[in-house]
Amino acid sequence: MSIEKITLGNKDFSVQKPDSIALCFEFVIEWSTSESPVKNARLCAAAIGVYLDKHAILPKYKPLKESPSEYGYKCLDRLLSLKIQGSEVYEKGTSLLTDMASSLPTDQGVEEKKDFFHSTSTDSTNL
């Protein structure tokens, strides 16, 4: 089940997970491999940005022109200027990144579908 609403400051916003599975993959990979609290804050802000896209409160993400971290810097700057606390950005963004991660294919799904070319004959050279 996807997150449908978040509260930032004292305002509630409806949110929507990005349609692009590639976008989710890139954000989750950067987040899961980062050991930098600064980069994680940017990624949390970026997640808020893409989930709030339809509200046009934060900059629009352009995946072919900027990395999730670069986009997150812009979003973090805007969120902080709107008086949203850094701890709230971290908390909400982490929830949204976790939500993105839940939509990614897993090894279990791959295992279940890996045998989709069934051979009907042991020797395909005999006609």
pLDDT tens digits for range 8-20: 999 999 999 999 9
Q: What is the mean pLDDT of residues 67-73?
A: 97
Q: In sequence order, what DSSP letters do the residues of 41-52 get, joined into one string?
A: HHHHHHHHHHHT
Mean pLDDT on 77-85? 96
State yes or no: pLDDT of 90 exceeds 90: yes
| Residue 109 belongs to a domain | no
Give the per-residue pLDDT at 127: 52
Q: Is residue 125 part of a domain?
A: no
What is the mean pLDDT of the segment spanning 93-101? Answer: 96
| 93 in any annotated domain | yes
Q: Rounded to an integer, what distance in angstroms lies between the CA atom of residue 36 and that of residue 15?
A: 27
Provide the residue range defining the domain that includes 19: 5-104
Count structural domains, the chain: 1
Please check the confidence at residue 57 and state whether its pLDDT lies above 60: yes
pLDDT band at residue 125 using 50, 70 and 90 as cut-offs: low
Q: Are 76 and 39 in contact (CB under 8 A)?
A: no
* Residue 122 is assigned to a structural domain of this protein: no
pLDDT at 123 over 60: no
- Establish if 38 belongs to a structural domain: yes
Residue 126 lies in a domain: no
Tell me what the pLDDT averaged over the chain comes to. Answer: 88
pLDDT band (50, 70, 90) for residue 2: confident
- Check: pTM over 0.75? Answer yes or no: yes
Q: DSSP letters along 68-89, please?
A: HHHHHHHHHHHHHHTT--HHHH
Percentages of the chain per state (helix, strand, coil), in multiples of 5: 55, 5, 40
